[in-house]
Amino acid sequence: MNYPPYKKRQQGLTLVEIMVAITISLILLAGVVQIFVGNKQSYRLTEELSRIQENGRFAMDHIAREIRMAAFWGCTNISVDPNITITNNLNPPNPPTTPANHPVDPSTSGVDGTDNSGLNGSDTLVLQGAYGEGLGIETHNVSAASFDVTTVNHGLDERDVVIATDCRKADVFEITNANSGTNNTIVANLGNNDPGFGNATIPGLEYNDSGTIYRIKSVTYSIQAGASGEPALFRNENGNNVELVEGVQDMQILFGVDSDPTDNNQIATIYQPASSVTNMNDVVSVRITLTLSTLNDLHRSDGTFGRITRTYTSTTSIRNRLI
């Protein structure tokens, strides 16, 4: 019997053809999966390293900005004129000298620190100084511990630590009543001002129309366990402790000391840890080394699997020591 030509056409696939097609498809699929996995790993690596770089840049910029402004006390500079009278009316911190509640004291230095006292044997950095444009003092009532400043909306708040100075003398105290927006009088009463320092004494040196009031702060940078349990960079301002950057494993501080301050060139001749600096008033720059790590384990370039670390170093001059 003769069949029409179309009846001779193949009507299906043999088992061998199906197996060959499946094998080829699996090979192509494996290649696609491999490319997908590789791209995913590259994306994670790029994302984590970008986060490290951004965190490192942010941390360095933030610390460097405050280093540059450290040791500014208005027109009061004890390192230049040791005859200036500075009275610190604040209650001493409790417990004393802890980085979390470091005393604000312009008579010591605007720069300080500790060696290996933080997490993972990291250092701490303490920066102190005045900031802002300052407010002119119109009158000062010593017995009432009150100052009349030049504006009602002065922006000062209760618990702000300030310094009053007229370039010959200075008083450090905490504001107990700011009256911002009501009148131009600020008050510095005695006693504790939880959670602030509080005042042990009232400002006893008289200031009138030649004085200025600046807000001041003591900032401590340290490495502590963050909210996630991982090491992080913390910034403590006048007792207010805040996690600043996550993933910072270590911070090492070296202080640039002008070993011959009599030549007035303000050039660091040696960099030393805090424990080796005999006079912090001779420090003209600070060198910071931060070690940051990824928050997740990644495939490293050497084929191992784990966290990747990066180290950043920056040296910043203390501008108020170079003037």
Give Cβ neighbours of residue 242 (< 8 Å, ≥ 6 apart). 234, 235, 236
Once rounded to an integer, what is the mean pLDDT over residues 121-135? 90
Average pLDDT over residues 142-162: 88
Residue-wise pLDDT for 223-279, tens only, equals 999 998 999 999 998 778 999 999 999 999 999 998 876 676 778 899 999 999 998
Mean pLDDT of 207-217: 85
Secondary structure of 74-86 in the HEC alphabet? CECCCCCCCCCEE
Look at residue 222 in the predicted model and tell me its pLDDT.
Answer: 95
Burial string for 222-253 (b: 16+ CB within 10 Å, else e) reads bbbebeeeebbbbbbebbeeeebbbbbbbbbb
pTM to 2 decimals?
0.77
For all residues of the chain together, what is the average pLDDT? 83
| pLDDT at residue 99, as a whole number | 43
- Per-residue model confidence (pLDDT) at position 98: 44
85 pLDDT tier (thresholds 50, 70, 90): confident
If residue 23 lies in a helix (H) or strand (E), which one and from where to where? Answer: helix 15-68
- Is residue 235 within 8 A of residue 242, CB to CB? The reply is yes
Mean of pLDDT values over 180-190 = 86
Render pLDDT for 8-56 as a digit per residue (tens, 0 to 9).
565 667 777 788 888 888 888 887 887 877 677 776 777 888 889 999 9
Average pLDDT for residues 129-146, to the nearest whole number? Answer: 88
Cα(101)–Cα(107) distance, integer angstroms: 17
